[in-house]
A and B are shown apart, each in its own frame.
Chain A
Amino acid sequence: MSDNLVAAKVKVNSLSVAEMFAQKVEMFRRVLGKMLGFTGYTIQYCCIAHCAFEYVGQLVVCSGPSMEPTIINHDIILLEQLSRHLYKIEKGDVVIAKNPFDPHMNICKRVIGLEGDKILSSGPSDLFKTYTYVPRGHVWLEGDNLKNSSDSRAYGPIPYALIRGRACFKVSPPSVHLIGQKVFSRDPMTMAREIRCFMKPRKTLKDISLWPPERFGTLKESPTGRIIKTESASDLE
């Protein structure tokens, strides 16, 4: 009788050990399944984020004085990539491009000329004006702050494929501005020229559409075959 009891107890114990083992395996499989599912979702969302940043738009923070007064140090700008992929970057657009001398750095400049355009390449102090043509597949970039900008005047036109996106909105506290809305300078001569070339009625925020983007204050065509460069508004350093 006691032998039977002992045998029964041993059998029950071994069963419970097997059951425990099975339970542990089941738990492990559940945890593994959940982890795999989590990894799958993470990969999927990372890929969606990559596609959004690469093909739609992203936010970047600008630093440096070369685009003042349009973009001041530490402004946040919204880049849109659709213009770049559809090859619809136009003259007057503010673009972010890879630095041709250091592909890990980016530069933020304005497009002054596209391929085939004539650019005034002599400085303001030269006696005779000289012109260059932008070669095929390249763009000529210049910062708005001409006195403090290292751009195509120093290193020549850059290939179009280095452009990473077009800036369409600028966010600097406390309000949102459109890129290209000029801050009028105090110099009356510059003001007169700007009013002649760039003046457009100021629109309210609800008139702004993101696509197709409005281009305020940009020069679509050169009136006399000479690119008019913007003068720096003030010496904001």
Chain B
Amino acid sequence: MLKTGFIRCVCVCVCVCVCVCVEEMARRAGRRYLRAFVSGFFVAVPVTVTVLDRLAYVARVEGNSMQPFLNPDGVSDCDVVLLNRWRVRNFQVQRGDIVSMVSPRNPQQNIIKRVIALEGDFIRTLGHKNRYVRIPDGHVWIEGDHHGHSLDSNSFGPVSVGLLHGHASHIVWPPNRWQRICPSLPPHRGPLHLDTTEEEEG
């Protein structure tokens, strides 16, 4: 599960407005603080909201569905990831990417999982009602790294690419886990190719 902290970001930009307004008050006679606040509000809030919607987002990962890659310590210290929203503006993802999506079960919640297969691939599922699934057009198959403790496509099937929220590119907290996230498929979890009889290993 992903805690997006949108309210916190809005509070940050309100603080920015207040700072701008205070600075204006100190500079000017003090009568125009209302105008300064309004002008600061109309600059800081739309720009911040647009940056959060289109460019990048910072979110805390909760839960252990992506262990051991994310949140290896469990509850004690949660990872914070940087979500790149500009990269998914055309809904392009690769196999092995860690992406955040809006949960198809609960539209108020974001989930962060790994993309295992893209449209047109055949995949062998773990615990889905069908043993083998062909991913329909415009859908992807996502799985958490911690099989069995993850609510992912093995429960609700392929998810539509339109639900993509962001691409996790870096882990930014805790400082000892700063790293760039590279796409990699877990071993033995990858799409099947029908022209060869062996399974592709990640």
Contacts and interface: CB of A to CB of B under 8 A. Distances in A.
Interface stretch (A27-35, A156-164, A176-184): A156-164
A158 B160 contact: yes
Given A47-B49, A48-B42, A137-B106, A98 B54 contact: no
B163 A159 contact: yes
A95 to B, nearest CB: 13
Q: How large is the interface on B (under 10, 10 to 19, 20 to 34, 35 or more residues)?
A: 20 to 34
Interface string A159-175: 11110000000000000
Contacts of B49: 47, 50-51, 55
B138 A138 contact: no
Interface stretch (A99-107, A187-195, A217-225, A228-236): A99-107
B110 to A, nearest CB: 10
Nearest to B54: A50
A52 B200 CA distance: 47
Interface in A77-99: 87, 98-99
B160 A136 contact: no
Interface string A94-126: 000011111110000000000000000000000
Given A103-B91, A162-B160, A44 B136 contact: no
Contact of B137 (A54, A102, A135): A102
A44 B105 contact: no
Given A159-B104, A159-B163, A43 B136 contact: no
A46 interface: yes
Given A159-B102, A160-B107, A103 B161 contact: yes
Q: How large is the interface on A (under 10, 10 to 19, 20 to 34, 35 or more residues)?
A: 20 to 34
B15 interface: no
Contacts of A100: 138-139, 160, 162
Contact of A98 (B42, B104, B160): B160
A161 B138 CA distance: 15
Contacts of A51: 45-46, 49-50
A161 B106 CA distance: 9
Q: Among B53, B104, B137, which residue has the most Cβ atoms of chain A within 10 A?
A: B104
Contacts of A48: 42, 46
B162 A50 contact: no
Contacts, number: 73
Nearest to B104: A159
Given A161-B102, A162-B160, A43 B107 contact: no
Nearest to B53: A54
A50 B42 CA distance: 13
Nearest to A55: B49
Contacts of B139: 100-101
B138 A99 contact: yes
B12 interface: no
A55 B46 CA distance: 11
A100 B54 CA distance: 21
B103 interface: yes
A99 B137 CA distance: 11
21 contacts: A46-B50, A47-B50, A50-B49, A50-B53, A51-B46, A51-B49, A54-B53, A98-B160, A99-B138, A100-B138, A101-B138, A101-B160, A102-B137, A103-B138, A103-B160, A135-B105, A137-B105, A137-B106, A159-B160, A161-B162, A162-B160
Interface of A: 43-44, 46-48, 50-51, 54-55, 87, 98-104, 135-138, 158-162
Q: Which 8 A-B pairs have the closest CB atoms?
A: A103-B162, A98-B162, A47-B46, A161-B102, A101-B138, A47-B50, A159-B104, A160-B107
